[in-house]
């Protein structure tokens, strides 16, 4: 700080803000009705997976109940969840997509 002799102190910040944004996992959940091909398409369209990666994730969800589509900042994760839920609903599939803090 700086003391000018008039009872005032200037406090100067020297440290740059370096807070990293919190990250969120976007997950899809298994169900008995959504076609496998639809899930693969969702992973390609909204999560930029190639056919091989999309198929691997879809089969993991089919066999284990839940799987990770990607990790994003809050606003991006929220947008992905909305886009997937809207697309599933438009196509009358019960596919569920959720996000969780890492």
| Site stretch for ligand TYC (CB under 6 A), options 12-20, 55-63, 72-80, 81-89 | 55-63
Q: How far apart (Å, rounded) are the C-alpha atoms in residues 97 and 78?
A: 10
Cα separation of 53 and 27, whole Å? 15
- Of 72-91, binders to ligand TYC (CB under 6 A) are none
Closest C-alpha among 58, 80, 56 to residue 70: 80
Smaller CB distance to ligand TYC: residue 3 or 91?
91
| Interface stretch with ligand TYC, choices 10-18, 35-43, 44-52, 71-79 (CB under 6 A) | 35-43
């Amino acid at each position: 700080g700086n003391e000018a002799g008039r009872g005032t102190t200037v406090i100067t910040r020297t440290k740059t803000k370096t807070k990293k944004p919190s990250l969120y996992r976007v997950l899809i959940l298994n169900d008995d009705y959504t076609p496998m091909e639809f899930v693969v398409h969702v992973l390609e369209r909204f999560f930029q997976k190639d056919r091989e990666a999309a198929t691997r994730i879809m089969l993991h969800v089919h066999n284990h109940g839940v799987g990770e589509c990607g990790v994003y900042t809050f606003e991006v994760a929220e947008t992905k969840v909305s886009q997937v839920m809207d697309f599933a609903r438009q196509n009358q599939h019960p596919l569920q997509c959720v996000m969780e803090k890492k």
